[in-house]
Amino acid sequence: MVFMGDRATLLETGRFARQRGQEPDSAVEASFAAAAAGTGAPVQRTGDLDAPPSDSDTATPDGDPAPESTGPEDGTTDAVDAADHAESEARHRRAADAGDTASMSVLGALLLRRGDLDGAERYLRAATADGDRAAANNLGVLLHQRGYPDEAAGWWRIAAVAGSAAAAHALGRHLRERGDEPGAEYWLRQSAEQGHALGAYALADLLEHRSDVGAERWLRAAAEQGHREAAYRLARALERKAVEDPHEAFGLGRSPVRTGTGLRLPTVAPAPPAGGGEGRSALDGDSPVAGPAAGRVGEAEQWYRQAAARGHRRAALHLGAILEQRGELKEAGRWYLTSAKDGEARAACALGFLLRDAGDEESAAVWWLRAAQDGDGNAANALGALHAARGEQQTAERWYRAAMDAGDVNGAYNLGLLCAAQDRIPQAEQWYRRAAYAGHREAANALAVLLLQAGDHTGAEPWFSKAAEAGSVDAAFNLGILHAGRDEDRTALGWYERAAAAGHTDAALQVGIALLRDGEDQEAERHLRCAAGGGSAEAAFRLAGVLDARQPPPGPPALGEPMPEKTECEEWYERAAQQGHRRAQVRVGMLAAARGDVENAAHWYREAAEAGSRNGAFNLGLLLAREGSEREAALWWTRAAGAGHGRAALRLALLAARRGELTEGQRWCARAVELGPAEVAERAARLREALHQELTA
């Protein structure tokens, strides 16, 4: 409990009388409020009581006023040298011994600050007897230090009834500790309504504990008076409200790793994004909201700034996270650094990620090490991932185990990934199970994939379901694959739709394909656009096909006309082609050829052919033959025919016949008849018969 009060004379209470000529001086009790922290006495300070232990950042409680005037007779401050203090004390002692009430109150407070409780008590009791309410309040502090809380409360009650906001605050805190919440609320409200910052904060804390909506009002009142813990908690409250508003909070997901089975496994945690979840920026339920700097989040940022500027390390951490989310990395790094230097392990971890993203892995490792040594599991995971990427598997495993020992379930999950990468499947399954049983949804998904790869479909499905119900988008997609493999198309589509709604690219593609199959082109287009926008080349190709089917085929450009602009469908074909989609490359080449752009057409046909497309090879051969390069055209037709392209085989037969190579022509005719289609087979058969007759003539 700190020295609090407003140095006003007690009003009539039946016990105290106002002294004539004595003017109120609110600075006396305030001058000793901060000083109590340095006495070493077993005083329970107001700032520390107001905040939960985990929210207390420094040794100085928020809201304690700075030392001001010690009384009406001198202007002494804590910055004055020891000689001036001694002279001031001597003057007050002489005046107090002469019976001056104000000096007795000031001297008692000075002695109390020094820890001389016996000397202080005599003067405080004397001043209290003369009706000084500041002395009554500080006498309560003294008695509280001595272990007489009930007697202390009596003096605080007397001062509070006389109008002392500080005493009302102290009394309210005392009653709350005794479990008398109604009484505590009454006195804290009295203090808060008089403009006492600590009273407003303590009242807000009490109301928030009861989930009373009025808590925010008093947090704001305390914050507006410079109370840093109130500013921090007000910002947190505003962020929690923003989470409930989808327009003000956005989540960012990670792209999982594609496995050979078509199932999806997530990347190592922690992952690059700053958003929450089971990765990098998980703040154990205390994570910043991702979203725009507007509305509640914008206001929260302002209060974080106020608290951080006053040295609140958690406020600095959250402010850094908001700035990082907004892309203001330089300023975010400054606040992370400030918080980390003050001992906030999570800020050191976040600073490490910021440095890693900037390409400075060595500096990142230094901060991760500092955070991990302070017990931050996320930083230990980051160190594990760093060493794993360097091939230092044993060191990586040690840090993953450290993360797990720190209570971070990602440690067990990452150990599973590490073992799986080393083909230590039984150990991987063990770690996945441990993380999955602890509620790690991606570990449950990974465990299900492992079981499915081992042929245990029965064991895999419940884990997929558990992961999907817990919010794993990959697990929902994998359930779709599982049901599709059983020909349970409707059930599969339901899981695909669920994953697609959460932004899963491949799931959106599967939904789009299903809708196309059912003839629902408009709805299919919507899902294909989502998937194509997410980077799916197949979705871009299919979307282009939907758009292409709606427009009439372009005619050849008239002589002298400018080359027509690319349509939207061609832009989607090109996007897919640039991602290596062979069918899209062929289609882009065809559209370019139709516009008369031979060079571009040849480029895309060649890209497709070299990637293994028989249609690309055939079309490239046609283009080269028209340009007079029959020898190179024959090479590409040979490659296409070898891959099963009947028309290419027919072209080779015609080419051989024209050269007089009748036997070679017959051989290619036979190949064309074998490959088809029917029209090609019929023409090849007629050509073969003609060649046969020529040979037997």
Selected residue with higher pLDDT from 596 and 420: 420
> Which one, of 667, 663, 656, lies nearest residue 633 by Cα?
656
Structural domain range at position 108: 27-226
Strand partners, 257: 265
What is the pLDDT, as a whole number, of residue 676? 87
Is 678 within a domain? Answer: yes
What is the pLDDT, as a whole number, of residue 395? 95
Number of folded domains that form the chain: 2
**pLDDT tens-place string over residues 279-314:** 454 344 444 434 444 567 889 999 999 999 999 999
User: Which single residue is written with the structure tokens 């059930």?
Assistant: 491
Q: Is the dihedral of CA 425, 427, 431, 436 positive or negative?
A: positive
**Dihedrals φ, ψ of 264, to 5°?**
-115, 130
- Write the CB contacts of 456 (distance below 8 Å, at least 6 apart in sequence): none
Q: Is the dihedral of CA 622, 624, 627, 629 positive or negative?
A: negative
**Dihedrals φ, ψ of 258, to 5°?**
-80, 130
Is 484 within a domain? Answer: no
Q: What is the mean pLDDT of residues 76-97?
A: 75
| 72 token code pair | 């009406």
pLDDT at 124 over 70: yes
Q: Binning pLDDT at 50, 70 and 90, where does residue 116 land?
A: very high
Q: What angle do CA 513, 518, 519 make, to 5 degrees?
A: 95
Q: Binning pLDDT at 50, 70 and 90, where does residue 274 land?
A: very low
pLDDT at 139 over 60: yes
**pLDDT tens-place string over residues 565-587:** 678 888 999 999 999 999 999 99
Average pLDDT across the chain, whole number: 81
pLDDT at 22 over 90: no
Give the three-class secondary structure for 141.
helix
- Write the CB contacts of 626 (distance below 8 Å, at least 6 apart in sequence): none
Q: What percentage of the chain carries pLDDT values higher than 70?
A: 78
- Write the CB contacts of 683 (distance below 8 Å, at least 6 apart in sequence): 650, 672
Decide which of 169, 191, 226 is a domain's last residue: 226
Q: What's the rounded Cα separation, in Å, for the pair 485 and 372? A: 44
What is the pLDDT, as a whole number, of residue 309? 95
Q: What is the mean pLDDT of residues 311-338?
A: 95
Q: Binning pLDDT at 50, 70 and 90, where does residue 340 land?
A: very high
- Per-residue DSSP letter, 272: S
Residues 106 and 89 sit within 8 Å (Cβ to Cβ): no
| 657 token code pair | 């016949």
Q: What's the rounded Cα separation, in Å, for the pair 61 and 360? A: 37
Is 164 within a domain? Answer: yes
pLDDT at 265 over 70: no
Q: Binning pLDDT at 50, 70 and 90, where does residue 627 land?
A: confident
Q: Is the dihedral of CA 480, 483, 487, 488 positive or negative?
A: negative
Q: What is the mean pLDDT of residues 110-131?
A: 92
Q: Which of 250-254, 560-564, 677-681 has the lowest mean pLDDT?
A: 250-254
Q: What's the rounded Cα separation, in Å, for the pair 69 and 77? A: 6
What is the pLDDT, as a whole number, of residue 382? 95
What is the pLDDT, as a whole number, of residue 62? 32
What is the pLDDT, as a whole number, of residue 596? 85
For the whole model, what pTM was predicted? 0.66
**pLDDT tens-place string over residues 645-670:** 999 999 999 988 888 888 888 899 99
Q: What's the rounded Cα separation, in Å, for the pair 240 and 296? A: 9
- Per-residue DSSP letter, 132: B
CA-based R_g, the chain, Å: 39
What is the pLDDT, as a whole number, of residue 194? 94
Letter string b/e over residues 582-601, b meaning 16 or more CB atoms within 10 A of that residue's CB: bbbbbbbbbbbbebebeebb
> Which one, of 150, 194, 169, 186, lies nearest residue 33 by Cα?
169
What is the pLDDT, as a whole number, of residue 72? 37
What is the pLDDT, as a whole number, of residue 697? 62
pLDDT at 520 over 80: yes
State the DSSP string of 369-381.
HHHHHTT-HHHHH
pLDDT at 531 over 90: yes
Q: What is the mean pLDDT of residues 58-81?
A: 35
What is the pLDDT, as a whole number, of residue 245? 58
Q: Binning pLDDT at 50, 70 and 90, where does residue 363 land?
A: very high
Is 59 within a domain? Answer: yes
Is 302 within a domain? Answer: no
172: CATH: 1.25.40.10
Q: Which of 26-30, 447-451, 524-528, 673-677 has the lowest mean pLDDT?
A: 26-30
Decide which of 226, 247, 277 is a domain's last residue: 226
What is the pLDDT, as a whole number, of residue 231? 95
Decide which of 191, 226, 261 is a domain's last residue: 226
What is the pLDDT, as a whole number, of residue 568? 85
Is 191 within a domain? Answer: yes
> Which one, of 464, 487, 488, 462, lies nearest residue 476 by Cα?
464
**pLDDT tens-place string over residues 406-435:** 999 999 999 999 999 999 999 999 999 999
Q: What percentage of the chain carries pLDDT values higher than 90?
A: 64
- Write the CB contacts of 36 (distance below 8 Å, at least 6 apart in sequence): 2, 3, 43, 45, 112, 113, 141
> Which one, of 328, 326, 264, lies nearest residue 297 by Cα?
326
Q: What's the rounded Cα separation, in Å, for the pair 352 and 281? A: 11
**How far from 312 is each of 327, 406, 544, CA to CA, in Å?**
23, 24, 54
**pLDDT tens-place string over residues 168-207:** 999 999 999 999 999 999 999 999 999 999 999 999 999 9
Task: Round to the nearest angstrom and report the end-to-end CA distance of the chain.
Answer: 121
- Per-residue DSSP letter, 71: B
CA dihedral 509, 514, 515, 519 (to 10 degrees): 130
Alpha helices in 98-180 (DSSP H): 101-114, 117-129, 133-146, 149-161, 165-177
- Write the CB contacts of 101 (distance below 8 Å, at least 6 apart in sequence): 19, 22, 126, 127, 130, 131, 132, 135
Is 132 within a domain? Answer: yes
pLDDT at 628 over 90: no
Is 219 within a domain? Answer: yes
What is the pLDDT, as a whole number, of residue 259? 35
